[in-house]
Structure 1
Amino acid sequence: MSGKGQEEPEQRGSFWRDNSLTLAFGTAFLLVLLGQSLAGHAEFNDQLTDEGLQPIGWGDYLMSSDFAVDVTENWQSEFLQFFLFVFGTVWLVQRGSPESKELHKVGTESDREQRTGDHAREDSPRWAAAKDWRQRVYSRSLGLVMGGVFLLSWTAQSITGVAAYDEQQLRQLQQPIGWGEYLASPDFWNRSLQNWQSELLAVAAMVILSVYLRQRGSPESKPVGSAHTATGVEG
């Protein structure tokens, strides 16, 4: 989530340096996912023990609906956050924030500004130069993919959620429910909404705090000496 800045000539370095942001966060994701699986496995076995049932192995827990619903409910909220932010920042602005586009650029902008159609350059993506459905799709591809992953992960959450819910119901000798009934249940909406509110709060906080606070060298921040009213300026 960052504002627009001027493009500079690309300076290629090593593979590790040029992809360090993706590699660092990808590695951190895998380590945290591993940690979650270990902690979740221990907690799940504690619940089974308290109910007088036999604990399960770590591999079995990884294949369980309990682990799957915990993972997917977090994924769907993250992709919802970015889907809303990508589309929302087309029309919505915040004076002074590097997370916002410049105030006079509200909307989808002109072909010249977006370098599409006749204004595409030699190094522009091929579909940016097209003048048919390919350009329309490609010009919205980031938001569409984010929205698509959100819907897929939310659907996965609902499927794994009802399986985990019914498993708990059976352990307590209660009647399981169907998928449609689960979609209207407090459990499903509590899992969804508690994640959505935290993601929306984080975005709102980042947008407004970046108006007045700085982080030297970060593209998520304005240059340290920029005025508070400077909008869409990267550090």
Structure 2
Amino acid sequence: MGRFARFFYQNGLLLVMFGLIVSALVGQVLTGWHDNNADLHQMGLATLTLPEYLRSGHLLEATFENWESEFLQMGVYVVLTIWLRQKGSPESKKLDEPEDVDQQPDPAKPGAPWPVRRGGLWLGLYRHSLSLALFGLFLGCFYLHAKGGGIVYNIEQAHDGQPLVSTWGYMHTARFWFESFQNWQSEFVSIFSLVGLSIFLRQQSSPQSKPVDAPTAETGK
């Protein structure tokens, strides 16, 4: 196997997903640019060039409104699966058997990451680094959603002769929370669907599924 082929084989999932993200983002930018300019034209305001749109609140809000819900979904899911179980789902830890992920980290284990060998605060942070990163990304996207949304909101307010608001002020509007909750609930639906459907349904060769011949009531993979 050549170097490139081996690299793709070892990292194909991330590479393909990154390609899909970039493709969808390009599509979002182009269609969002035209959609926003249509709204500006209706209000009698100057339309934006593509470089101007890339710095606009419309793109900022649309992008981070969605990313916010994704990071919230993953963070909540990671944390809930620490304690909660679902009989028959490969997305859950086993009901009555110990799991490798529950074992205490061993600093003497060959190849142990350096925070495990160092111990103390570094180990404490490393033990929870996945959930901390996900919730940190959620909070960052939450703020950028509000910042972008506030810019768009103020354009509309100025057009209607209404008072402008700060980013913090926009966070107190029903519109901001409507945008957030409509995305959050859809992400929780996706988790619920994956956990629930994986009890009964199968996908050959996918690690998100139990083996095709596994009993329905069996937990774990």
Question: Any idea what the Cα deviations from partners look like across 1:183-212, whole Å, max 9, x if unmatched?
Answer: 110111011101000000100110010000
Residue of structure 1 equivalent to 2:212: 224
Q: How does 1:184-203 map to 2 (within 5 A)?
A: 184-203=172-191
Corresponding residue of 2:106: 117
Residue 22 of structure 1 is matched in structure 2 by 14
Tell whether 2:136 aligns with 1:148: yes
Query: Residues 88 and 50 from structure 1, CA distance in 2 versus in 1: closer, same or farther, beyond 3 angstroms?
Result: same
Q: What is the TM-score with the length of structure 2 in the denominator? A: 0.92
Q: Could you say what secondary structure the match of 1:135 adopts?
A: helix
RMSD: 1.7
C-alpha separation between the residues in 2 aligned to 1:180 and 1:28? 33
1:138 aligns with 2:130: no
> Which of these residues, 40, 43, 56, is aligned with residue 51 of structure 1?
43
Pick aligned residue for 2:161 from 173, 183, 195: 173
Are residues 135 and 204 of structure 1, via their aligned partners in 2, closer, same or farther at CA, if it must alter by over 3 Å?
Answer: same
Q: 1:214 to 1:53 in 2, by over 3 A?
A: same
Q: Say yes or no: does 1:101 pair with 2:93.
A: yes
In structure 1, distance between residues paired with 2:204 and 2:46: 53
Greater fraction of residues in helix: 2
Please list every run of at least 4 consecutive aligned residues from structure 1 whose deviation after the TM superposition is greater than 4 angstroms: 105-108
Percent of pairs with identical residues: 34
User: Are the equivalent residues in 1 in contact too, given 2:106–2:112 (CA < 8 A)?
Assistant: no
CA distance in 1 between counterparts of 2:137 and 2:198 reads 28
**Secondary structure, aligned partner of 1:104:** coil
- Tell me the number of residue pairs that the alignment of Structure 1 and Structure 2 aligns: 216
Residue in 1 aligned with 2:148? 160
Cα distance in 1, alignment partners of residues 206 and 28 from structure 2: 29
> Higher mean Cα deviation, 216-225 or 44-53?
44-53
Residue number in structure 2 paired with 1:73 = 65
How many angstroms apart in 2 are the aligned matches of 1:155 and 1:16? 35
Structure 2 unaligned regions, length at least 5: none
TM-score normalized with structure 1 length? 0.87
